[in-house]
A and B are shown apart, each in its own frame.
Chain A
Amino acid sequence: MSATIEGGRLQTAGRKAAAGGTRAAARRPAPARRTEETGPARVQAPAAEPRAETPLVSLKHRHLLGMQGLSSEEIEVILDTARSFAEVSTRTVKKVPTLRGKTVVNFFMEPSTRTRSSFEIAEKRLSADTLNFSLSQSSVVKGESLLDTARNLEAMAPDMIVIRHKASGAPHFLARHCRSNIINAGDGWHEHPTQALLDAFTIRGKKGRLKGLRVAIIGDLMHSRVLRSNIFLLKTMGADVVVCGPPTLTPVELERLGVQVTFRIDEAVEGADVIMMLRIQRERQKGGAFPTTREYYNLFGLTVERARRAKPDVIILHPGPMNRGVEIDSAVADGPYSVILEQVTNGVAVRMAVLYLLAGGTPGGLAD
C-alpha cells in the first residue's frame, strides 16, 4: 500500500486499503474467542461507528493496549502510514496540522527518556497540544491513586492518554475508566506495542519484509514487555522467532506463543536475519537470576564473534537503554550491522502513525 502526506492530509491507495479493511473486519474475532483463547483481547471496544469522512485507513479499536489481537492487516496499515510520516521528519518544517486542536497527555509513571521524548516529538510534529505528566511531578507521590489521577486528567478533556506504568494492565485499567483513547507506552512486564511497531518498521525498512525472517531475541525474557509485544507482532506477520535467555529469566510456557526457546546464544544467533538484544537490569543479579554480570556477559553477551554466526547481512537491534559490556559488546552496538539509532528515528514516525490512526483523522483537523 502506498501512502503519502500532502498538505497534512494522508492519502492512501484507496482500493487496497479498503479491501484490507474489509478483510480485517471479516476476521474480527467473535466474542466467544476470548474464552477459548488464552489471551485477552489486548484491545478494548471496537471503534465507534466510523464517520463517513473517516479516512480509508483506520484501526478497529479505540485504544492501543498491546500487539496481541491486532491483525496483520492492521499492523500493515500502521507500518504503511508510518512510512508516509517518516518523510515529514525530513522536511525543513517538520510539522503537519493533522492533530491540531487535539490534546494528548503523556502520563509517564516510570522513568523514560526515549519513549517519552519520541511520543512528544511525534505529537508536536502532528500539531497536537501536549501535556507531560511524570511521576515526580504528579500527585501520585502525595498518595493519589491511579484512578483519581486519571479522572482528574480526564476532567481536562484530553483526546488521548499515552501511559507508561510499572504495573502490567495499568493501561487496561485506564481504558475501563476513561473516555480518552489510551496508548500503552509500556506496562510492567506486559507489552510495549509502539516499540514492537518501530522494530518491525526498522526491520521491514532494511529487509523489505517480515515474513519468513529468522529473528533472535536475547536477554531478560521474563521482565521484558518489548519481548512480548515483539513476539505477538512478529508471529502475526509470519516471522520465525527464537528467544534466548537464562532459564532463571525465562517465563514458563513461553513456547506456547509459537517461539523456539533456547538457553544457548550461539544456537539462537545461528542463521539469524535479525538479532534483537534486550536490556539486562543489574538489579536482576541481586535477585539471584545470575551470579555476576561478568558471567552473564560470558554466557549471553552479544560479541562480534557470536554475531558472525548470523547471516552476513544480519541487523542488530536494541530497544535501549543499553548496558555496554553486560548484554552487548560496544563493537557490536556501534558496528556496521547495528540499527539502534535508526530505531530511535523510526520511533517518531511510527508513533505519529499510531496517534494519527487512533485519532480517527477528522477532515477538519487535516485541512491546511
Chain B
Amino acid sequence: MLIRGGRVIDPATKTDAVMDLLITDGRIAERRPPEKGRGGAPAGARVLDAAGLWVCPGLVDMHVHLREPGQEHKETIESGTRAAAAGGFTSIACMPNTDPWNDSLSVTEYIVAEARRKGVVNVHPIGSVSKGGRGEELAEIGDMVHSGTVAVSDDGRPVGNSYLLRMALEYTKIFGIPVIDHCEDRTLSATGVMHEGYVSTVLGLEGIPAASEEIAVARDLAVAAMTKGRLHLAHLSTRGSLEKVRRAKEDGVVVTCEATPHHLVLTDQAVADADYDPNTKMNPPLRGEDDRQALLEGLRDGTIDAIASDHAPHHADEKLVEFDDAPFGVIGLETTVPLIMDRCVRAGVLTPARFVELLSLGPARILGIKKGTLEVGADADVTVIDPGLVRKVDVSQFQSKSRNCPFHGFSLSGWPVATVVGGRVVHELQPAATR
C-alpha cells in the first residue's frame, strides 16, 4: 500500500514533511519524497491519495470502556473497536470495569481473544489494581501482564487506600507498567452530580467540589514520590490538579496525566444550556472556565501527556432519566479528533506535532506499547486526517452502540478520513460523507 503525497507528521522522528509512505507486510517499509503519478507503487498495491491531508502515526486512546464482557447492551469489543476506527484510533486501552471485573488472567485473555476475533483495531487491556476492584488486596497483576495487560487501574473507583496504592506502585515495578488512578475523595464528592460552583447553585444540583479531585491528586503524588513507581492520573479536570502535577514533575516525580476532550471543550455551563440533559453528566464533572483554561495551558506546556476520550457508553434508556438518576459518562471515540482539531489545533492552542504527541506518541509511551511513530520498520498503523473538512457531529451515524454524546450537532473542522491498522484500511470516510 502506498499513502501518497500526504503531510507526514511524526514527532518521534521529528518529521513534518510531505512524503510518500510505502507499507508492506503490515509495516512501514519506506518513507520517501513524493513522486508524481503511480510510479513507485508495487504492482497491485493500493494507493491512497493523501494530498492536502495529514498522515499521522495511528492514534492511541488510552482510556476507553468497551463494556464487554457483561454489559454488551452498551458496547461490545466489536462495536467499540469500530467506533475507534471511525474516530481515527488504531489502538485503544480498555478499562477493567467489566462484569466480571478484569482482575484475572481469564478475563484479560477473553478480551484479547475477542479483540483478535472481532476487533478492527489493536486492543490493550488495562487490568485491575485490586481483586474485584474492591480496593482491598492486589489482583494477580503478573498473570494479567503475561496475557496482555499494559497498565493497572481500579478505574472509576479511586485506589481509596494509600497503603494499597503504595503496594501497587511498588509491585508494578516488576513489569514496568503504570498504575492509573481516578482521583477523587469520595467522602467529599459524596452524592454530587455536577461541578460545585455558581451553575450548580442556580440549577439546584448537588456539587462535586474541585477539591475532591485535588486531594486525591496530592495524595497520589506523595505516594508516587515515596515509591518512585509509575503513576498516571486519569482525566484531570481542575487547575489545582494540574498545578500539583506540574510541581511534582519539576521535583522529579515519575508521573504522567491525561485530559479528556469534553473537559477541554465544555464547562459546567453546558449542563444549564442543555437544560439538565444527562449527556452533560460525567465524572469528573465539567468544570468552570478557569479550569478549562488551565487544561489548555497544560496541553501547551507539556504538563498533560495525553488526550484520552474516557469513552463511556451507556444505553439510551439509562440516560433518558432525571439528571440525578443518570449514570456518569459520555462517549468520545468518534468525536475526539474533530474536537481537538477544531478547538485546539485550529484555535492555535496546539501545533500539529503536539497534537500527534498528545494523541499518539504520548499515550503509546505511557502504556509502553510500540506505537506512536511512522519510522521505518514500525507497525503500519496510520491515521489520515483532513484538517479542512467541516462536518457536523451526528450521533445517528456513530459506530458505537451508544449515543450519549453532548456534542451532537456541533460543526467541527478536521476529521479522520482513513484509519489503517497493520497496513489494512479499517475505516475510510466515503467521499459522499465528506461533502
Binding site for B on A (CB under 8 A): 34-35, 38-40, 44, 68, 145-147, 165-170, 172-173, 175-176, 187-191, 225, 228, 251-254, 256-257
Contact = CB atoms under 8 A, between A and B. Distances in A.
Interface string B315-350: 001001111110000000000000000000000000
B200 A251 contact: yes
Nearest to A35: B273
B324 A168 contact: yes
B10 interface: no
B98 interface: no
B171 interface: no
20 contacts: A38-B199, A40-B272, A44-B275, A147-B320, A147-B321, A166-B324, A168-B324, A169-B205, A169-B323, A170-B322, A172-B275, A172-B276, A187-B204, A188-B204, A188-B205, A188-B324, A189-B206, A251-B207, A254-B201, A257-B201
A145 B322 CA distance: 9
Interface string B188-229: 000000001111111111110000000000000000000000
A257 B129 CA distance: 45
Contacts of A146: 321-322
B320 A34 contact: no
B266 to A, nearest CB: 11
B411 to A, nearest CB: 15
A40 B204 contact: no
A147 B273 CA distance: 21
A39 B268 CA distance: 11
B147 interface: no
Given A35-B273, A40-B273, A253-B197, A190 B204 contact: yes
A219 to B, nearest CB: 15
Interface centre among B202, B206, B320, B324 (most CB of A within 10 A): B202
A173 B269 contact: no
Contacts of A40: 203, 272-273, 275
A16 B207 CA distance: 44
Interface centre among A165, A175, A251 (most CB of B within 10 A): A251
B272 A39 contact: yes
B272 A38 contact: yes
A43 B199 CA distance: 17
Contacts of A34: 273
Nearest to A68: B202
Nearest to A175: B275
Contact of A252 (B201, B203, B323): B201
B204 A225 contact: yes
A68 B196 CA distance: 20
B273 A168 contact: no
A176 B199 CA distance: 20
Interface of B: 196-207, 269, 272-273, 275-276, 317, 320-325
A145 B321 contact: yes
Nearest to B198: A253
A173 B322 contact: yes
Contacts of A254: 201
Contacts of A166: 324
B201 A251 contact: yes
A175 B204 CA distance: 18
B321 A252 contact: no
Contacts of A188: 204-205, 324
Contact of A169 (B196, B198, B203, B207): B203
Nearest to B326: A167
B205 A189 contact: yes
A45 to B, nearest CB: 11
A165 B322 contact: yes
Contacts of B204: 168, 187-191, 225, 228
Contacts of A38: 198-199, 202, 269, 272
Contacts of B206: 189
Contacts of A168: 203-205, 276, 323-324
Given A145-B320, A167-B323, 4 more contacts: A40-B272, A173-B322, A189-B204, A257-B201
**Pairs of residues from A and B, 5 with the lowest C-beta to C-beta distance, nearest first:** A169-B276, A190-B204, A189-B204, A167-B322, A40-B272
B269 to A, nearest CB: 7
Contacts of B203: 40, 168-169, 190
B202 A176 contact: no
Contacts of B199: 38-39
Contacts of A172: 275-276
Contacts of A189: 204-206
A167 B204 CA distance: 9
Contacts of B273: 34-35, 40
A253 B322 contact: no
Nearest to A287: B190
Nearest to B277: A176
B272 A252 contact: no
